[in-house]
Amino acid sequence: MTLLHEARRLREMAYAPYSGFQVGAALRSADGRVFGGCNVENAAYPEGTCAEAGAIAAMVAAGARAIAEIVVVADSPTPVAPCGGCRQKIAEFATAETRVTMATLAGQEITMTAKELLPGAFGASHMDKS
């Protein structure tokens, strides 16, 4: 199973009754396990939660703490980048060189590093007062 295949599969499970915009994400943790998520909307928060956040939450709940690679898939004309909050979450659990692939159902892909996706990311080093 590739991460792209898993992200496409999970996209089909998205709950998007308001936007109709389904997104799937799959990541491989540093220890080789695969975790995934899909977007979930609700009436009180119609923009919902992001697929990437779901994949990261699943990884953390399973005890893993490092993203080796992540793929995000949406049915859009061009690949969709993770939102700002998800970019920060990716930066929290990835290295600067971790690959982030954004893909469409039509097969278009863009791959960037986590650093390219979120230059100047806030990190623990910003809180070091020494």
- How does 15-41 read in b/e, with b if 16+ C-beta sit within 10 Å? ebeeeeebbbbbbbbbeeebbbbbbbb
Give the pLDDT of residue 45.
79
Give the pLDDT of residue 104.
98
Walk me through the domains of the chain, giving residue ranges and CATH numbers: 3-127 (3.40.140.10)
Give the pLDDT of residue 128.
82
Q: Is 97 a catalytic residue?
A: no
pTM of the predicted structure, to 2 decimals: 0.92
Give the pLDDT of residue 48.
79
Give the pLDDT of residue 125.
78
Question: pLDDT tens per residue, the chain (130 residues)?
Answer: 799 999 999 999 999 999 999 999 999 999 999 999 999 998 887 777 899 999 999 999 999 999 999 999 999 999 999 999 999 999 999 999 999 999 999 999 999 999 999 988 877 777 887 6
User: 59, exposed or middle or buried, with CB in 10 Å at 0-12, 13-18, 19+?
Assistant: buried
Q: Which of 52, 69, 97, 109 is catalytic?
A: 52
